[in-house]
Amino acid sequence: MIDSNKNLAEQTRQDFPLFNSSTNEENQIIYLDHAATSQKPSLVINALRNYYSYNNANVHRGAHQLSAKATEAFENARETTGQFINANSSNEIIFTRNATESINLIARSWGQSNLKSEDEILLTVMEHHSNLVPWQIIGEQRGCKIRHVGITPDGELDLDDLKSKINDRTRIISLVHISNTLGCCNPINEIAELAHSVGALICLDACQSLAHQPIDVQSLKIDFLAGSSHKICGPTGVGFLWGKEKILETMPPFLGGGEMIEEVFLDHSTWGDLPHKFEAGTPAIGEAIGMGYAINYLNAIGLEKIQKYEKELTKYLFSKLNNIEDLTILGPIPNDDSCRGALATFHIKGIHSNDIAELLDTKGICIRSGHHCCQPLHRSLGLNSTARASLSFTSTFDEIDILVEELNANIDFIKKNS
């Protein structure tokens, strides 16, 4: 039960073994790397343990009771995932290993069947490598042209540039919902309308938004969405692809083998119905079940409450970081009206981000440093590396104060010893 008199961190930290002081007294970590992967609540860990301890069986194939229990839990997780994003049907949810595999599935299956020479694929310079490389591969194979939308000086998508580059040869626009580096939230409804006006599809990488705000694929008017369990408090090794059923029906299988077939003969095979056509082999059963528990956990808190709390945290983080000399934050300034990501990516004049991250780690503060799988974006900004502090509903204002205090101390230490 959520208590309106307490902030979300006060109410939820006890659910996570890493943050629960009663179970983890000797290792009090300040974890500010939620954009890379989220921590897992005990109920998700227990769901995994329960499956592997008492219900471990393969799904869909067995007539015995363990298989029936496993299948029911696995398909319940699919239903939960569909409801989480307001899919028309659970048949539109394809379990994958991660969001990267989901995007590869679209590029290889839909792309191989629909893209031809001189067609165009429209991406952005802010994309994670997982939404660049698959399209580069299929574009080269099919002879397509890949175009990239730039960003504004404020670190937001340049919508005018997008409008100038979309045309009647554009077949798909694939872009991130919230940038894992800039933190900007892209205007997906407007982009979807532009895509559909020229007969193009739109694919959304929602890894940085699914755990932070409500997502409704129908109101967004998109065609595909890629999501990852480990970014939404679920286990690693499982993710999902959502696609409109009428589009998925036309797409050939991505992988061949067991589970995805209807009948197999020596010289040919026929495919199973959705969603199984795209789920070859034994899936990550326990992990998918755990993802379902994670989604239920987020729903119990409330995505609207999460978004509201994280907005206040992000504004506070920016206000504190902006007081540090020679520190520059990438991306737009947070405000009440935006759906900006709960993160701050920054660089400090004359200091490498890896040095900052390593020194903070000695104080138990975990942030990310490097290019965040966004090398083209960093090159376009003239940067080799940045540091990133990313928040969640378990983050506290006190943690931000400690981060900034240690940042200042480390900057002074580096300058005195350089």
Domain boundaries, the chain: 8-40+302-416, 46-299
Helices (H), 282-373: 285-301, 303-321, 353-361
Closest alpha carbon to 307 in 215, 205, 180:
215
366 part of the active site: no
Query: Is residue 165 within 8 Å of 152, Cβ to Cβ?
Result: no
Cα distances (Å, whole numbers) of residue 307 to 1, 298, 312, 361, 393: 18, 11, 9, 28, 8
Q: How many CA atoms lie within 13 A of 269 on its CB side?
A: 14
On whether the 46-299 domain is CATH 3.40.640.10, my answer is: yes
Question: Whole-structure pTM over 0.75, yes or no?
Answer: yes
CA atoms within 13 A on the CB side of 262: 9
Are 321 and 390 contacting, i.e. CB atoms less than 8 angstroms apart?
no
The pLDDT of residue 417 is: 84
CA distance 134 to 140: 10
Tell me, what's the pLDDT at 307? 97
Contact of 174 with 121, CB cutoff 8 Å: yes
Other CB atoms within a 10 A radius of the CB of residue 406 amount to 18
Query: What is the signed CA dihedral for 343, 349, 355, 356, rounded to 10 degrees?
Result: -40
Element (DSSP H or E) covering residue 365:
strand 365-366
Each residue's pLDDT expressed in tens, for the chain with a length of 418 residues: 455 546 999 999 999 999 987 655 566 899 999 999 999 999 999 999 999 999 999 999 778 999 999 999 999 999 999 999 999 999 999 999 999 999 999 999 999 999 999 999 999 999 999 999 999 999 999 999 999 999 999 999 999 999 999 999 999 999 999 999 999 999 999 999 999 999 999 999 999 999 999 999 999 999 999 999 999 999 999 999 999 999 999 999 999 998 888 899 999 999 999 999 999 999 999 999 999 999 999 999 999 999 999 999 999 999 999 999 999 999 999 988 778 999 999 999 999 999 999 999 999 999 999 999 999 999 999 999 999 999 999 999 999 999 999 999 999 998 888 7
Q: What is the pLDDT of residue 20?
A: 87
Count of other CB atoms within 10 angstroms of residue 143: 11
The pair of three-digit structure tokens given for residue 255, joined into one six-digit string: 């992988």
For residue 334, whether the previous peptide bond is cis, meaning omega lies within 30 degrees of 0, is no
User: Is residue 356 exposed (0-12), middle (13-18) or buried (19+ Cβ within 10 Å)?
Assistant: buried
In the set 144, 366, 373, 374, the catalytic residue is 373
Characterize 257-281 residue by residue with b for buried, 16 or more Cβ atoms within 10 angstroms of its Cβ, and e for exposed.
eebbbeeeeeeeeeebebbbbbbbe
Q: Residue 27 has what pLDDT?
A: 65
Cβ atoms of residues 260 and 267 within 8 Å: no
CATH architecture of 8-40+302-416: Alpha-Beta Complex (3.90)
Query: What is the separation of C-alpha 270 from the centre of its chain, rounded to a whole number of angstroms?
Result: 33
